[in-house]
Structures are given as C-alpha cells and as structure tokens.
Structure 1
C-alpha cells in the first residue's frame, strides 16, 4: 500500500506515460478513487468478472 501522496504521484506518472506512448496500462487496485481515474474498470468477485 502507498500513502495518498505517493499513490497520486504514481497515478499521474502512469497516466502521463499512457498519454505520451499511447499504450495500455493495467492497474489492479482495491481503491475506488484510483479505479475512478481509469478509462475502463473491470470488477472481480471471487475470481469472476461481475461488472464491466
């Protein structure tokens, strides 16, 4: 787990890399705020896809 400031900095870096390189980045998280910054969110429960 990262503290809030470091987590925000890491997400900014990942989003910048994605924008500059036009690449896909996969982030696995339990944090809804982090997931909310994604273009697409897939939710799993007990190993099964429950929401796209």
Structure 2
C-alpha cells in the first residue's frame, strides 16, 4: 500500500466512526426529547384534568 492509500483508508475509517457516533448521539437525543415531551404532556393533561373538575 502506498502512503496515499493508507491515508485514504484512515480517512474512510474516521468518517465511518464519526457517522456511527452521530447516529448514536442522535438516537440518545431522540430518546431524551421523547421522554421530555411525554413528561410535559402528562403535566398538561393533569392541569387540564384539574381545570375540568
């Protein structure tokens, strides 16, 4: 392998690692955001329930 081929391989591996890290963080953020939305929805429903009573 030439130095250029080695460099291309390293860049490719680095790019793949970045993509998988990005997917992982995106999934974590989605789970966090969904939980926050669920909690705020529950609070809103409770507030509405109290107003209706």
| TM-score, normalized by the shorter chain, greater than 0.5 | no
Larger helix fraction of residues: 2
Choose between structure 1 and 2 for higher RCO, CA contacts under 8 A separated by at least 6 residues. Answer: 1
Which interval holds the TM-score relative to the shorter structure?
0.3 to 0.5
- Using the size of structure 2 for normalisation, the TM-score is 0.38
- Using the size of structure 1 for normalisation, the TM-score is 0.38
Larger strand fraction of residues: 1
